[in-house]
Structure 1
Amino acid sequence: MRRAAALLLPALMLAGCGGNQAQKPAPTPTPSASAAPALDPAARLAAAVKASFPEGVNQGPITFDDNKLVDTAFGPVLVSHGHVRDPAHVDAGTIAVHYLDADGTGFKLRKAYPKAAESGSFGDLAEWSVSDKFLDRPVIYVEGGGTWQGYTCSFTTLVALEPEGPKEVASFQSVYDNGGAVEDNAQSVRGKIGAIRKGVDFTVKFEGTRSFAERYVWRDGKYQREGGESQVPSC
């Protein structure tokens, strides 16, 4: 009995030491000094605007105060809508595009395209957005128009953000209205893009004094109208 107790005592002591070691708290890992804190979307956008317009968003007579940061497979791209502050009727709205590189918590400018697209009148566009529905890279949708001598016309343009720079991939007249120029037999049609098959085709549906549809097919690096001349009266 004494020999068994003598053998049991060291075993208990070893078990007790092991238990104390298991309860010892693990050291807190030290954050890597090279890890940059993530920016929230608003801060990233502000940093992209600063890199693209280091002297401010007022560029001559145009102000680029409507901006969208697009993350692409070839890096961040800032798309900016510019409007003329004191416009004339003939002044168009502008889309500027800036290709950027990440630089710490900010960006540095790689390439600028100040007039990637121009459209509209009185210094502004009617509508713009960035879409992933047309191609496997982002596409800028731009619509702009105006009224001249009673004729109202609008045009839609698609500009793809390619790795080498923005490229126009479609353009078509989307509005015609001669009601301000004639009293009899006035015509008015407006087209909106409907069904889209990415990289294949899309359909523009027109409504108004006439209803019809026109199809645009992806061919030779752009969307081209199928079937010859458009049914929309030209401006």
Structure 2
Amino acid sequence: MSEQRALAFATAFGGEGSPVVEVEGERLRYSPGRLVWIGDRAVLLSPGENLDKCHACTGALAIHYLEPAEEGFRVTGTWPALVQGSGYGEPPSDWSLSGEFAEYPAVVEEGGYTAQGCTSGGVTLTELRPERPVQSGLIRTIYSNQSGFGANNGAEIDGEIVNINKGVSFDVTYSGSRAFTETWVRRGDTFQLRGGETRMPQC
């Protein structure tokens, strides 16, 4: 698998080594991550470090779809920054593949951002469907306001995804300064928050 991954990576980025790619005006250096198969299609997941290390600069997890061609691969789709990382140029660090949510595996990534004493963040689900990856909206799971400002100053709220009904819905239970539950339901190719607006504060 490691040789297959190396071949897929070289095909996706046009050569060996750690390529630097310009994405929306920013330079990201990618490295091999993981190669998975969805039927007869290969999906390459490659973390990319943003070479600009500023606080608000994010890395990413690139997604390439490939299919076998002769003795190697041919790229059929490229999404270089669909899964975003956190600040200081870092790629997503807390991500995994899960088959619990939908028919096809999903990249589950959790990240947060801190500014002036307030932290917020959440989980993204990116389902690796055969034709293309499909990402649901941000599921907010992190809030900590120690900034000294605002109505929610001092609040600490954590969310946990529970009660997963594959392909149908899941709940997010919140605890800490507030306790409540929100439900996400499947609509078309994505999960959407029932009611459309979260009760979770954000910075």
Match of 1:88 among 29, 36, 54: 54
Per-residue deviation, residues 69-96 of structure 1 (Å, max 9, x unmatched): 1100251110122122441111112121
Long gaps (5+) in structure 2: 22-26
Identity percentage of aligned residues: 32
Pick one of 167, 175, 183 that aligns with 2:142.
175
Q: Indicate the larger mover: 77-86 or 127-136.
A: 77-86
Partner of 2:108: 141
How much has 1:120 moved relative to structure 2?
1.9
What does 1:184-195 correspond to in 2, within 5 Å? 186-195=154-163
Alignment of 1:111-150 (within 5 A): 111-124=77-90, 125-150=92-117
User: Alpha carbons of 1:110 and 1:175: their partners in 2 closer, same or farther (altered >3 Å)?
Assistant: same
The 1:170–1:133 alpha-carbon spacing in structure 2 relative to 1, beyond 3 Å, is farther
- SS of 1:170's partner is coil
Corresponding residue of 1:64: 30
2:189 counterpart residue number: 221
- Bigger strand share: 2
Question: Aligned in 2, Cα 1:212/1:152: closer, same or farther, shift over 3 Å?
Answer: same
In the other structure, the counterpart of 1:46 is 6
CA distance in 1, matches of 2:173, 2:32: 29
Distance 2:176 2:86 in 1: 21
Please say if residues 191 and 206 of structure 1, whose CA atoms lie closer than 8 Å, have aligned partners that are also in contact: yes
Per-residue deviation, 1:193: 1.6
C-alpha spacing 1:115/1:228, structure 2 compared with 1 (3 Å): closer
Which structure is higher in helix share?
1
Structure 1 segments of 4+ aligned residues over 3 angstroms from their partners: 180-185
Residues 1:75 and 2:41 are matched in the alignment: yes
Structure 1 unmatched ranges of 5 or more? 1-40
Number of equivalent positions: 195
Question: SS of the counterpart of 1:173?
Answer: strand
